[in-house]
Each structure stands twice: as structure tokens, then as C-alpha cells.
Amino acid sequence: MKALVWCAPYKVAVEEVPDPKILNRRDAIIRITSTCICGSDLHLYDGFIPFMKPGDILGHEPMGIVEELGPDVDGSRIAVGDRVVVPFPIACGNCFFCRREMYSCCDNTNPNAALAEKLFGFPTAGIFGYSALTGGFAGAQAQYLRVPFADVNLQKMSDEFTDHQLVMLADIFPTGYMAAEQANIQPDDTVAVWGCGPVGQFTIRSAMLLGAGRVVAIDDGKSVPERLQMAADAGAITIDMNDEYVYDRLLDLTSGIGPDVCIDAVGMEAHGYRAIEHAYDKIKTNLFMETDRPAALRQAIECCRKGGTLSIPGVYGGVADKIPLGAMMNKALTIKTGQTHVHKYVPRLMEHMRKGDIDPSFVVTHRLPLSEAVHGYEIFRRKVDGCIKIVLDPAA
């Protein structure tokens, strides 16, 4: 089959690789019909996540058709021919965490648990195509994918929606939704969202679905004006971090009290807008003295109102410097974060889709054949051609 493989930082290639096989008794093989490039794939592309091996297949946002099932898959829940979305974290369904719907914290799906234990203290769930640290599973930017614990992980879909609507359920729609939901938004709340990438876009719309008083979207209007425009289209107040001081503007908007909920949908590769701060993080990361550049997180902590909630869907992978813990502690902030417990949210998001509250395909700007995935990474990374979200077609 064809697959997109990671070879070195800034170097990916579409290659011919062997087809996946059933390896465990509850595995499934799916034929992928749509698969996305995620903003977090760029962290791998840029070499920000350690433990990548040359030849690793990337991708963790697929959907497709079940082709083959292992002998122990519960046939009452999934069958060959079903149209399915595959959540990016792999869950076992039976451990302490799965039983509490914390699927991305599953105890039993990371084959490299000992490695993850060393870095994070505890192993978290396996993730498709996301380095040895999350299990070293072959990724989904390919024509076929092997899915473990198929009866727990495969989410059966009906034919009433298109691929572009459904494939967003594999990661970014639930991720944006969880970012807003875990912040416990109240009707009179001002919600500030840093980052208007695909996850930020879903966060903005989810905050509105959950009844936020108003939503403020923050991004760089010089390099990605189309993203701020998309946020404005959803009804958000936008702040271009080049034009205004974010802190001052947020205080103006909230009469000096600050946003009740601050959401960092940027993650480890923030650019920041203070040259000195960015240079500091750039140097430290290049010297391997920190792994993450937390400029957006710092600003979110600074801006959040006293007793407010900080929610972090943005991906961080290691350690970061100069986090304003004093502000966080003295202002009595609540911190909510985590990789998304996708399985938990799929049913309720389907419900929103059925009611017509949201059409998740709004975020898609490009559909490319898998063979052009390398070009896709390039335009997504450089944010050119109005690129916000790319869906790859493995059959084309």
C-alpha cells in the first residue's frame, strides 16, 4: 500500500510499504477513505516530538470501511463493511481509565509503556502514528490501517453524513469540544481562545454550543488572516496579535476583569509576539534545554481572570521554561488539560450534527490525493494557499 512516512525532521515521503496485518485477536483492518493532516503532525514534521524512527508512518485522523476482523472481535458491535471513524487514541475499554471514560489515559494500549513511564511517570494510551512514546503504532496517512481492540475503538457511522463531516470526529472536533466542555463554561462567560487553527476553530464553535456569553479568538492576522476570518464568521471577536496588545484588548473587552475561560489551542510551537521571548525559547529548544515553546500558554495564564479556568488542548511533549506559576497560583486558576477522550464525545457530537447545530466540514480547505501528501505538509506548515485543514484521499 501507499503511505506517508517520516524520514527526518522536515522530510516526509510517500512510499510503497507492506499492507498491515491482523496482529492481535481483537484487531481490525480498515480501508481508509479519508485521512487528515493534523496540526500536531507538524510537531513531528518539525522534529519536536522525540522518539520518531525513520520510516514511521504518520497520521491519526482516519475513517474508512472495515475490511477484516480478528477472531475475538465482538461481532455484535462491529462487522466487515461497516463505515467507521477511528479515534486517534487507542483504548482497551476495560482498565481503570477507560471505565471512567478517560480513554486517552488507557493503561493497556501502549506497547512502550516502560519508555513512557520514564518520561511522564505513567504510560498513556497508544496513539496512531505518533512516535514510540505513544506506542509506535503505524499511522493512518495510508491506504489501510490496523486498529487494535476494534470493538472498542471503531465508531460506527451512518451514511447520512459525508466523509468530510465525519472524519473530523477522529480528533479535532472532539478535541475542540473537550477543550470547551472541560472549562465548565457559564452563560455570562467570556472565553478567549489562543490559536485559530483547526482545533481552535472547533473550540470557538464548541464554546458557543456550550452557551458562552462571547468568544474571543486570538491569532496572527499577518500570516493567517483567513483563520481569523473563519473565527469571525463563527461569531467570535477577533484579536490580531500584531495590531494590539492581547492583554490590553482582553481587559478592555471584559472591563478589566479578564476572560473567565482561557484556552490554549496553540501548543508547543507557539511563536509569541515578543521577539525576546521567542528568541529565548528558540535558543533553549535548539540547545535541547527545553522541548516546548510555551508563549501562548504564558500569555493565557497572564490574561486569565482570578479564579478562572485555563484549558489546554494544545499539545505539549516535554518540558518548558518560565511558566508564570506565581500568577497561576495566586490567581487561583483551575487548569484542565489532556489528550482528547474521543470515544466519550463522539455520540454527543453526532447528536449536534443531526440537529444541524454544526457542520464540521466547514474547516476543510483542501482535499489532496495521498500521493501529494508531501506537498500538503509543505503548504500546511507554511500556511500558504489559504490552507487550514487538509483531507487526504488514499484512493486517488
Partner 1 sequence: MTMSQQMTDRSGGYTGYQDLDDSDAQDSWLGEGINVGGTERAVSVAAGAALALLGLSRGSGLGLLTAAAGSALVYRGMKGHCPAYSAMGVDTAHGTEEHYQQQARRTEQRVAKRGIHVEEAFLINKPQQELYDFWRNFENLPRIMTHLESVQVLEDGRSRWRAKAPRIAGGSVEWEAKTTRDEPGQVIAWRSLPGSDIDTTGEIRFQKALGDRGTDVHVFMRYIPPAGRIGHWMATLVGQDPERLIRDDLRNFKRIMEAGEVITTEGQPHGACTGRRRRK
Cα 218–chain centre separation:
18
User: Which residues, 6 or more positions from 48, have their beta carbon under 8 angstroms from its beta carbon?
Assistant: 268, 269, 285, 291, 292, 317
Task: Kindly tell me which residue out of 85, 92, 167, 169 binds partner 1, with binding defined by CB under 8 A.
Answer: 92
Instruction: Give the interface segment with partner 1, choosing from 59-67, 129-137, 199-207, 263-271 (CB under 8 A).
Output: 129-137
Task: Kindly tell me which residue out of 46, 101, 117, 385 binds partner 1, with binding defined by CB under 8 A.
Answer: 117
CA distance 244 to 354: 39
Instruction: Give the interface segment with partner 1, choosing from 103-111, 217-225, 279-287, 362-370 (CB under 8 A).
Output: 103-111
Is 108 a residue that touches partner 1 (CB under 8 A)?
Answer: yes
Which one-letter amino acid corresponds to residue 118? K
Applying CB under 8 A, what is the total number of residues that bind partner 1? 47
Task: Kindly tell me which residue out of 9, 10, 25, 396 binds partner 1, with binding defined by CB under 8 A.
Answer: 25
Is 137 a residue that touches partner 1 (CB under 8 A)?
Answer: yes
Q: How far is the CB of 100 from partner 1 (least distance, A)?
A: 10
Place of cell 488539560: 337
User: Grid coordinates standing for 128?
Assistant: 496512531
User: Which residues, 6 or more positions from 392, have their beta carbon under 8 angstroms from its beta carbon?
Assistant: 4, 34, 35, 36, 37, 141, 367, 368, 369, 370, 373, 376
Our CB check for partner 1 shows the closer of 148 and 200 to be 148
Task: Kindly tell me which residue out of 45, 88, 130, 149 binds partner 1, with binding defined by CB under 8 A.
Answer: 149
- Virtual torsion, Cα 98, 116, 64, 159, nearest 10 deg: 30
Contacts by residues 23-27 (CB-CB < 8 Å, ≥ 24 positions apart): 23/146, 23/148, 24/70, 24/148, 24/149, 25/70, 25/71, 25/72, 25/73, 26/70, 26/72, 26/73, 26/148, 26/149, 26/150, 26/151, 27/69, 27/70, 27/73, 27/146, 27/147, 27/148, 27/150
Is 1 a residue that touches partner 1 (CB under 8 A)?
Answer: yes
Contacts to partner 1 from residues 26-85, by CB under 8 A? 26, 54-57, 72
Task: Kindly tell me which residue out of 66, 138, 231, 239 binds partner 1, with binding defined by CB under 8 A.
Answer: 138
Our CB check for partner 1 shows the closer of 146 and 298 to be 146
Task: Kindly tell me which residue out of 47, 77, 96, 396 binds partner 1, with binding defined by CB under 8 A.
Answer: 96
Our CB check for partner 1 shows the closer of 374 and 384 to be 374
Our CB check for partner 1 shows the closer of 134 and 203 to be 134
Is 119 a residue that touches partner 1 (CB under 8 A)?
Answer: no
Task: Kindly tell me which residue out of 18, 71, 187, 347 binds partner 1, with binding defined by CB under 8 A.
Answer: 18
Task: Kindly tell me which residue out of 9, 10, 13, 79 binds partner 1, with binding defined by CB under 8 A.
Answer: 13
DSSP characters over 259-321: -SEEEE-S-TB---S-HHHHHHHHHHHHTTS-S-B-HHHHHHHHHSPTT-EEEE-S---S--S
Summarize as ranges the residues that interact with partner 1 (CB under 8 A). Answer: 1, 3, 5, 7-8, 13-21, 23-26, 54-57, 72, 90, 92-96, 99, 107-109, 111, 113-114, 117, 121, 126, 135-138, 142, 146, 148-149
